[in-house]
Amino acid sequence: MKKKTILLMEEDELLVDLTFHEVPASLLSEFVEKIVRPYYAGNLNAAIQDLLRKTLAEQDFLLSHITHVRRAEP
């Protein structure tokens, strides 16, 4: 039953407002200059969503690799 609930949550996509605290303006400016403007046509929202998705995918890959290596050890 849990899997069905999770699938329904993913289909409905809960949208939330996100606030960042104590992020240096210079870091945000550099992110916008180097990433958002050239690759996302200035769409900061799309850039952050893509960054989060890629980070989660990388985390999943790393965790599956670590689990695989641990299982292979004698």
| Per-residue model confidence as pLDDT tens digits over 6-32 | 555 555 678 888 898 999 999 999 999
Domain of residue 29, residue span: 16-72
The pLDDT value recorded for residue 5 is 53
| Per-residue model confidence as pLDDT tens digits over 25-60 | 999 999 999 999 999 999 999 999 999 999 999 999
CB atoms within 10 A of CB 37: 14
Look at the pTM and tell me if it is higher than 0.75.
no
The pLDDT value recorded for residue 1 is 46
In a domain, 21, yes or no: yes
CA-based radius of gyration for the chain: 17
Cα distance between residue 39 and residue 24, in whole Å? 22
In a domain, 8, yes or no: no
Using DSSP's 3-state secondary structure scheme, residue 46 falls into helix
Domain count for the chain, please give it: 1
- Round to the nearest angstrom and report the end-to-end CA distance of the chain: 35
In a domain, 7, yes or no: no
